[in-house]
Amino acid sequence: MKEVLWCFTYIKEKTLGENYKEAYKLWGERNPTTRINIDAKALLNQKNYILKAKRITAVEIDELKENIRLKVGDDAEDCTNRVNGAKWIQML
């Protein structure tokens, strides 16, 4: 359950939008042997069920979001450092 929400929340934080096909790709990469017969729409339905039926607590969701914000921030910082490093090298 957490993995499904993690993928959807990660894509939402990273792209500032909700793209269920991108979340499905990420989920598939992170879980190559889990439920291989599920498609993107079914995964979206699973996420909606988890949230609607409150199968995960609000505290767990908040922890998940905070974890993702830190990861997205680290990824953005790495990207910025690579770009700035390339500019620095060009200046030399």
- Domain boundaries, given as residue ranges, for the chain: 2-91
Question: Which two tokens mark 70?
Answer: 């830190």
pLDDT-derived band at 64, boundaries 50, 70, 90: very high
Compute how many other C-beta atoms are within 10 angstroms of the C-beta atom of residue 10: 23
Written as one letter, the residue type at 54 is: K
Question: Which two tokens mark 10?
Answer: 């990660």
Report pTM.
0.73
Residue 18: predicted pLDDT: 84
pLDDT in tens, 76-85: 555 545 544 5
| Rounded average pLDDT over 30-39 | 90
Residue 14: predicted pLDDT: 87
**What's phi and psi for 36, nearest 5 deg?**
-70, -15
Written as one letter, the residue type at 29 is: E
Residue with token string 């359950």: 1
Lowest mean pLDDT among 3-12, 54-63, 81-90: 81-90
